[in-house]
Amino acid sequence: MNESYVKEKFKEFITSQGYRIEREFTTSSPDLLLNKDGKLIAVEIKGSRSTSNYALALGQLTFAMFNFKDVSEAWLVLGKMPTKASEKWLECLWYHGIKIYLMIQNRFELLTPERLRKFIARRSFEEIEESILTLLRENPSGITIENIARMLNLEKQQTIDHVSGRLTKSMLKGKIIFDGNFVKIKDNL
């Protein structure tokens, strides 16, 4: 997911929560310095879920806390659901006291170790496919596989498997039109 998009959405969210943006950086770390009730918070934003981004964020936020002596908290904002492979890096960030926020359908949630395990655990067929149907109903002219995957924080292949009806328990069989990379719901549903 585009990091600048995540940043803009996070700025909207955080200002609605009463935080003030003290500084915004474009070429150095951190991405944002926030203030609420006199508490200064360094924020680093990562659009992709590459484990190298988590390692980089740890260094950037450690540097921010060293460089800006008044910073009392560090936050990492993720634009995509972390993978199982990145779990150890996230544990390292939590160990260092860094709060992690995850963007889910244009809103942000605090990610705790317990929530991470729940997110990483495979969602039920019914939940995933009902979410796909809801998205298709909300977008009657159709939607791309990439957008469905992004909106539901799914892997592209997982989305294709559900949408194409290849899965034996699929409730989507016969309910959608699958045209290459574009999907829409049949008119009679």
Tens of pLDDT along the chain (189 residues) come to 688 999 999 999 999 999 999 999 888 889 999 999 999 999 999 987 777 888 899 999 999 999 888 999 999 999 887 776 778 888 899 999 999 999 887 889 899 888 877 766 555 566 677 777 788 888 888 888 888 887 666 778 877 777 776 555 556 666 777 777 788 877 644
Amino acid 174: pLDDT: 66
Q: Which residues contact 9 (CB under 8 A, 6 or more apart)?
A: 103, 106, 108
Picking from 120, 143, 159, the residue at the C-terminal end of a domain is: 120
Which ranges in the chain belong to alpha helices (H)?
3-16, 51-67, 87-95, 113-120, 125-138, 145-152, 156-163
Amino acid 82: pLDDT: 79
Range of the domain at 160: 125-185
Q: Are residues 21 and 63 part of one domain?
A: yes
Please say whether the beta carbons of 73 and 42 come within 8 A: yes
DSSP string, 92-133: HHHHTT-EEEEEETTEEEEE-HHHHHHHHSPPPHHHHHHHHH
Which contacts of 97-101 are long-range, i.e. CB under 8 A and separated by 24 or more positions? 97/73, 98/57, 98/58, 98/61, 98/74, 99/73, 99/74, 99/75, 100/75, 100/76, 101/10, 101/75, 101/76, 101/77
Q: Are residues 57 and 15 part of one domain?
A: yes
Q: Are residues 140 and 110 part of one domain?
A: no
Please say whether the beta carbons of 186 and 175 come within 8 A: yes
Amino acid 189: pLDDT: 45
Q: Are residues 15 and 98 part of one domain?
A: yes
Domain count, the chain: 2
